[in-house]
Amino acid sequence: MKEFQLGEFEEIVLLTVGVLYPEAYGVALKDEIESRLKRKVSVGALQSALRRMEGKGYLHSREGEPNTERGGKPKRFFTITAYGKKALDHSKDVRLALYNDIPPVALDFKFA
CA distances to 49, 102, 105, 106 from 110, in Å: 40, 17, 12, 12
Question: What pLDDT, in 10s, does the model give residues 7-23?
Answer: 999 999 999 999 999 99
| pLDDT value of position 72 | 74
* Domains (range + CATH), the chain: 2-101 (1.10.10.10)
How far is the first Cα of the chain from the last one, in angstroms, to the nearest whole number?
42
Report pTM: 0.88
Question: What pLDDT, in 10s, does the model give residues 37-76?
Answer: 999 999 999 999 999 999 999 999 999 887 777 677 889 9
| pLDDT value of position 18 | 98
| pLDDT value of position 44 | 97
| pLDDT value of position 68 | 73
CA distances to 71, 78, 100, 101, 106 from 109, in Å: 56, 42, 17, 17, 8
Q: What angle do CA 36, 46, 50 make, to 5 degrees?
A: 110
The closest alpha carbon to 5, from 86, 61, 82, belongs to 86
Residue 41 CA neighbour count, 13 Å, CB half: 25
